[in-house]
Structure 1
């Protein structure tokens, strides 16, 4: 059976087009995690990560807590990695007997936990438990199961919620109140749906220890399911199937799958472009090569164009897939190479299936053990859980955050100054994570300096001419961005002396004591009044002409 692998974080179509992740470890998140998960140092791990409705990170696995704070097997962290001690205390007070699989937030703020769960304190939970938002045990949910005859008779692996609040549960069970093989539907309060169970019937069959390992609910309430089976509800389906919102197998979809996958499917991920990413311990799909990873069209047929790029694919089991806002994918598991190229246990692929070599290079040797879960909050907040202790040469005990480049400059216009005149020019890079930035500059004209903490360039240009300046902003994690700034320093403008050898020219519009009207509101000679940059919070350069007035 697969480890309780999970992946979340696909963003909806139309999400902002942001730079791709570059695979840099977020040291600030790591500082809050500290020693990471604790328990038996040889057997603790994270199998599940997910974001709740408040943007906090839910973590599940085999551990006693995080960073020395007790929160056994289920924990909640802020986006920055700070452990929620109150939530942990409530989890710890009940006591979970058994190892959790997936930990998922519910629409009402609760938390659902699958796994090899037997009891919560002294209350039987029969492989599925619900927590309230504060981490306390929801005994009412378990009571609904008890009233229904303690439905699950074996391990639950996966869970997803339909839009009406109903909860779809997958696993290796054959009973959910009534016979319901591997897939069941519960009301929001925990009561089994007997009609759904009847439609599912035998569910997954045909492999040893048949099971549903992962579930993805679609907008219409239907579900894509993957696991260990060669048939589902009596219909041939190689480890992958689609069922309606009421639990009926989609036989048309099954026909298009053909023989399906030749091994276990551990993760199913619908993508924003309508396609479906699938990972697991398989090598073919309907007779075509699909080494542990495949992209299918929405109708269940193989995306031949993308699969031609996948080539030799991954050399080990894929446990988790997450989509980034630009449509690219993070794929994690046991594999260490993709299409024959070293990729580490977490690879970044373009939407067309091309490996991102920059990501792999920044990741160094990548994670040193299995990646079980990836959750994407944004391009700059990617949470990874698993069995690892290091990421490259840096400590990353079972839980880590990696980022894209959080520092960016807007396009900087040409800056203009005047020799001998003091000037001040404000430059600001954007930083999605809000960390302080340190600024440096190379190529500044003589007489000018940059403020390291604020980014303001100031001083008095000493010589006229042009220069190309490089401005760099760096955050505490070492993330940086560099932008070019073209610089022009003009000679000061000098008004010509009047020619007193010629008689004065009569100007009927001239008035005593005032300058002659030139017919224009501004003098033709430019005088720099201010230079600043204004783009994405940065003042833009402009040249103001000296006003000489009208009669």
Structure 2
């Protein structure tokens, strides 16, 4: 159910901003730079605080090696402890039942305690000793032992809850589970569930995704699962056996082909990203959509697909993260500068048929690899997009390697010569402008509408807290002036909603004081 709530929230964001630019949210971290190096993974807690990990050492100039947590507004959470890790984490997931934080990666110790590849933190960032993986992950071949992904199976009965990890390892707590890659199901205390025994062979596992029936989609560069040939994609039953109803044919192919991201659509179709050239001998460069039975969905055609990685990482053009949306479109991030011959900056949004969505635009995008995309609930009925990666600019503006994006309806800075109409509004005759913006003490809201409509003006701070409301009758030909309280003159968002609570307009307010 949580997945579909997230889809619905995201749909609200984009239906309210159709045709507008997707811009950097300057209220996040008070418009200051964030992480000083790579952010590889992001998770959002129930209170909308953001936990993230990567290769960085500092956040906003403060020592926060490998991982930390920030408040909803992007500022450092003083209640989250500084971690002492000997290596990076590549995945972070929040347990929904208690908000504890699971991490996986290539580390071997946390705060001086042995934790090879997987660990759990309390909500304050301290190590949870009740989760004990024993000797953790290991292997007999020369390679980078690492947990690349993990998922959580929630259940009303605590005894039925499980944690599944996948990565590049061969043993877990001394038990052989694969060759050059593996999948392990754990109990909540970190011990291995011996009844779950998928055998992954000849390659790492990079991506895991539970579908609506709790079957597990597994992606990577492996060749076999459970003794059967499964090239880079497979699905497991709840008991860990191979699901033979998922028929992917010859799978994904191409030089060094692998699947590195999996996303599930509301209708159970599957979006697959990675670096590959074909699926089942049909051209699909970097991205494909499969039906629930594992066959290629021909109605999703990306043409020439994704090409031309950035100058630093040109060795591997890759779709690294996929964010499916309720309307069937998908936001894609990774290492690419063109899509189907169209320039783009490592992020793009595609329509349900796989073609470029000309709605909300990312402009020049990011200057480097996008590693992860997540949603964060912000204002009531609205979510914003968090991005982490190798980048340090978005739309040519410096930010750091963690940033938040949003889609305002308008950024009018003075009385418009012509009305600014909100596309997709319930009544297309409605328009709003807010001026002056920047302002000193007060603003004027001007509306034009064919007939009067009751609205409410709302002001929110950077944490999404409602500061004030003001009733307004739009379309009466009268300007409405609002004195902005001194306490609200910093990183303020103005929103106008109709009687049904639907957003008709939103914008930043920029104070000159």
Q: Does 1:268 align with 2:262?
A: yes
Aligned residues: 425
Q: CA contact under 8 A between 2:459 and 2:493: conserved in structure 1?
A: no
Match of 2:86 in 1: 97
Q: Does 1:311 align with 2:309?
A: no
Could you give the per-residue CA deviations for residues 528-548 of structure 1, whole angstroms, max 9, x where no partner exists?
Answer: xxxxx966499xxxxxxxxxx
Structure-2 separation of matches of 1:536 and 1:452: 20
Unmatched tracts of structure 1, length 5 or more? 1-7, 39-43, 417-424, 455-474, 484-532, 539-551
Tell me by how many angstroms 1:480 deviates.
8.9
Tell me by how many angstroms 1:155 deviates.
1.4
From the two aligned structures, give the one with the greater helix fraction: 1
Query: Which one is further off, 290-299 or 429-438?
Result: 429-438
Which secondary structure does the structure 2 equivalent of 1:80 belong to?
Answer: coil
Query: Which one is further off, 49-58 or 238-247?
Result: 49-58
Match of 1:498 in 2: none
Q: CA contact under 8 A between 1:30 and 1:396: conserved in structure 2?
A: no
Which secondary structure does the structure 1 equivalent of 2:406 belong to?
Answer: strand
Structure-2 separation of matches of 1:52 and 1:74: 15
Which secondary structure does the structure 1 equivalent of 2:209 belong to?
Answer: strand
Q: CA contact under 8 A between 1:371 and 1:386: conserved in structure 2?
A: yes
Tell me by how many angstroms 1:10 deviates.
7.0
Check 1:104–1:13 CA distance in 2 against 1; reply closer, same or farther (3 A cut). Answer: closer
Matches within 5 A, 1:92-241: 92=83, 95-107=84-96, 108-142=98-132, 145-146=133-134, 149-153=135-139, 154-163=145-154, 164-177=160-173, 178-181=175-178, 182-196=182-196, 199-201=197-199, 203-205=200-202, 210-241=203-234
In our comparison, the structure showing a higher alpha carbon Rg is 1
Structure-2 separation of matches of 1:402 and 1:268: 22
Alignment partner for residue 387 of structure 1, among 383, 387, 390? 390
Check 1:170–1:10 CA distance in 2 against 1; reply closer, same or farther (3 A cut). Answer: farther
Tell me by how many angstroms 1:234 deviates.
1.8
Could you give the per-residue CA deviations for residues 349-406 of structure 1, whole angstroms, max 9, x where no partner exists?
Answer: 122222123433xx33210000000002355410000010100121120011111236
Check 1:437–1:204 CA distance in 2 against 1; reply closer, same or farther (3 A cut). Answer: farther
Structure-2 separation of matches of 1:302 and 1:52: 34
Check 1:481–1:46 CA distance in 2 against 1; reply closer, same or farther (3 A cut). Answer: same
Q: CA contact under 8 A between 1:105 and 1:112: conserved in structure 2?
A: yes
**RMSD of aligned residue pairs (Cα, Å):** 3.4
Check 1:535–1:223 CA distance in 2 against 1; reply closer, same or farther (3 A cut). Answer: closer
Could you give the per-residue CA deviations for residues 21-53 of structure 1, whole angstroms, max 9, x where no partner exists?
Answer: 642111111526x23113xxxxx2100011123
Structure-2 separation of matches of 1:37 and 1:250: 41
Match of 2:441 in 1: none
Could you give the per-residue CA deviations for residues 457-492 of structure 1, whole angstroms, max 9, x where no partner exists?
Answer: xxxxxxxxxxxxxxxxxx998999999xxxxxxxxx
Match of 1:252 in 2: 245
Q: CA contact under 8 A between 2:265 and 2:325: conserved in structure 1?
A: no
Structure-2 separation of matches of 1:435 and 1:344: 36
Check 1:476–1:294 CA distance in 2 against 1; reply closer, same or farther (3 A cut). Answer: farther
Tell me by how many angstroms 1:271 deviates.
1.1
Unmatched tracts of structure 2, length 5 or more? 140-144, 155-159, 308-316, 411-421, 431-448, 504-513
Check 1:431–1:285 CA distance in 2 against 1; reply closer, same or farther (3 A cut). Answer: farther
Check 1:105–1:536 CA distance in 2 against 1; reply closer, same or farther (3 A cut). Answer: closer
Tell me by how many angstroms 1:429 deviates.
5.0
Check 1:139–1:380 CA distance in 2 against 1; reply closer, same or farther (3 A cut). Answer: closer
Q: Does 1:294 align with 2:285?
A: no
Tell me by how many angstroms 1:91 deviates.
3.2
Tell me by how many angstroms 1:122 deviates.
2.2
Tell me by how many angstroms 1:167 deviates.
0.7
Q: CA contact under 8 A between 1:63 and 1:73: conserved in structure 2?
A: yes
Tell me by how many angstroms 1:215 deviates.
0.5
Q: CA contact under 8 A between 2:7 and 2:325: conserved in structure 1?
A: no
Structure-2 separation of matches of 1:431 and 1:234: 59
Match of 1:403 in 2: 406
Q: Does 1:373 align with 2:338?
A: no
Structure-1 separation of matches of 2:339 and 2:285: 9
Matches within 5 A, 1:475-494: none
TM-score, normalised with respect to structure 1: 0.70
